[in-house]
C-alpha cells in the first residue's frame, strides 16, 4: 500500500518557529510531526510513502534519510517551487500510479482517525476520493449533499461560495476537512491543471462534472492540526496528559 505525505508548506502561521525549522520537524512528545504521521501510516499497512519537500528541504531530506521504520520505504519529491496540494500530488504521479488507492495525509495533523476504516470506506464507495471530515468551526468548509458527495465549498469570512452539484441542487452541509484522505490513482488522468494548484479546487471541478468525492465522518476520533503555535502547544499538552491518540 502506498501513501503521500504533504510536507512542503512554508508554515507562515508558525513563524518564527519555522524560520529555521520546517513545520513537519517540529516535535510533539519528543517526535517530529512527520514521524508521527509516518508511524500511523505504517501501522495502517503502508509500505511505500513519498514525502514532498520545499521549505528547508535539506533539513527534511537529512531527517528522512536517517529515519527508518521496519517495512516502510520513504522516498522524497523535492519541489523547486511550491506546487500546492494539487501540483505536489501531480508531481508524484509516477510513484503513486497503479491499481490500488493510496493515502494522502497532511504532515501537520495529529489524529486518532482509524485509517483502516477510512481505506475500507473508500473501497466500498467506488469514489475518486474519500475525505476524512468532521463538523467543526472554521471559515473554510467543504459542503456535502445528503448522499455524502462533495457539492461545494464556502468561506464564511469572505462570503465566497462554490457550488459543485448539479444545477439547482442545494450546496449541502458544511464539514471541516481533516487533511487525511484516500485517493484512487484514476485521479491523475483527470487532473488537467498544470503547475501550482489546489487539490480542493480540482475536486470541486471534478465533482461538478459528476465525479464522486465522498465524506468519511470522523467526528468521533481525536483530531488536531499544528497550524499555529497555540495549536501546536495544545497538541503537546493533550499528548502529555492523555498519551498518543488511538
One-character DSSP codes across 177-214 = EEEEEEE-GGGGGT----SS--HHHHHHHHHHTT--EE
Mean pLDDT of the chain: 94
Domain range for 88 is 2-242
Q: What's the pLDDT at 38?
A: 97
How many beta carbons lie within 10 A of that of residue 16, not counting itself?
A: 8
Here the cell at position 156 is 464564511
Q: Is pLDDT at 155 greater than 70 in this prediction?
A: yes
Q: Is pLDDT at 59 greater than 80 in this prediction?
A: yes
Report the DSSP beta bridge partners of residue 225. 109
Total of domains in the chain: 1
pTM score = 0.95
Give the CATH number of the domain where residue 225 resides: 3.90.550.10
Query: C-alpha angle with apex 127: 191 to 197, nearest 5 degrees?
Result: 25
- As a whole number of angstroms, the distance between CA 61 and CA 75 comes to 9
DSSP assignment letter at 164: -
- As a whole number of angstroms, the distance between CA 218 and CA 131 comes to 9
- As a whole number of angstroms, the distance between CA 165 and CA 190 comes to 18
Asked if 138 and 150 touch (Cβ cutoff 8 Å), the reply is no
Phi, psi of 243 (to 5 degrees): 80, -175
pLDDT in tens, 117-149: 999 999 999 999 999 999 998 889 999 999 999
pLDDT in tens, 160-180: 988 886 545 667 899 999 999
Amino acid at each position: 500500500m502506498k501513501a503521500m505525505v504533504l510536507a512542503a508548506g512554508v508554515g507562515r502561521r508558525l513563524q518564527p518557529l519555522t524560520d529555521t525549522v520546517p513545520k513537519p520537524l517540529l516535535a510533539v512528545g519528543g517526535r517530529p510531526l512527520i514521524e508521527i504521521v509516518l508511524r500511523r501510516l505504517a501501522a495502517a499497512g503502508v509500505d511505500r510513502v513519498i514525502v514532498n519537500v520545499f521549505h528547508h528541504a535539506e533539513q527534511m531530506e537529512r531527517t528522512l534519510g536517517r529515519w527508518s521504520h521496519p517495512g516502510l520505504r520513504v522516498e522524497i519529491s523535492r519541489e523547486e517551487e511550491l506546487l500546492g496540494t494539487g501540483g505536489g500530488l501531480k508531481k508524484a504521479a509516477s510513484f503513486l500510479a497503479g491499481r490500488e488507492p493510496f493515502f494522502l495525509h497532511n504532515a501537520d495533523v495529529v489524529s486518532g482517525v482509524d485509517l483502516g476504516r477510512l481505506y475500507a470506506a473508500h473501497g466500498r464507495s467506488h469514489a475518486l476520493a474519500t475525505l476524512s471530515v468532521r463538523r467543526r468551526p472554521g471559515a473554510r468548509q467543504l459542503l456535502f449533499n445528503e448522499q455524502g458527495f462533495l457539492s461545494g465549498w464556502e468561506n464564511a469570512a469572505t462570503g465566497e461560495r462554490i457550488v459543485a452539484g448539479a444545477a439547482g441542487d442545494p450546496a449541502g452541509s458544511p464539514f471541516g476537512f481533516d487533511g487525511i484522505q484516500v485517493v484512487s490513482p484514476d485521479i491523475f488522468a483527470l487532473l488537467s491543471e498544470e503547475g501550482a494548484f489546489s487539490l480542493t479546487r480540482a475536486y470541486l471541478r471534478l465533482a461538478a462534472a459528476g465525479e464522486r468525492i465522498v465524506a468519511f465522518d470522523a467526528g468521533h476520533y481525536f483530531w488536531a492540526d499544528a497550524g499555529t503555535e497555540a495549536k501546536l502547544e495544545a497538541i503537546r499538552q493533550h499528548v502529555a496528559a492523555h498519551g498518543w491518540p488511538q
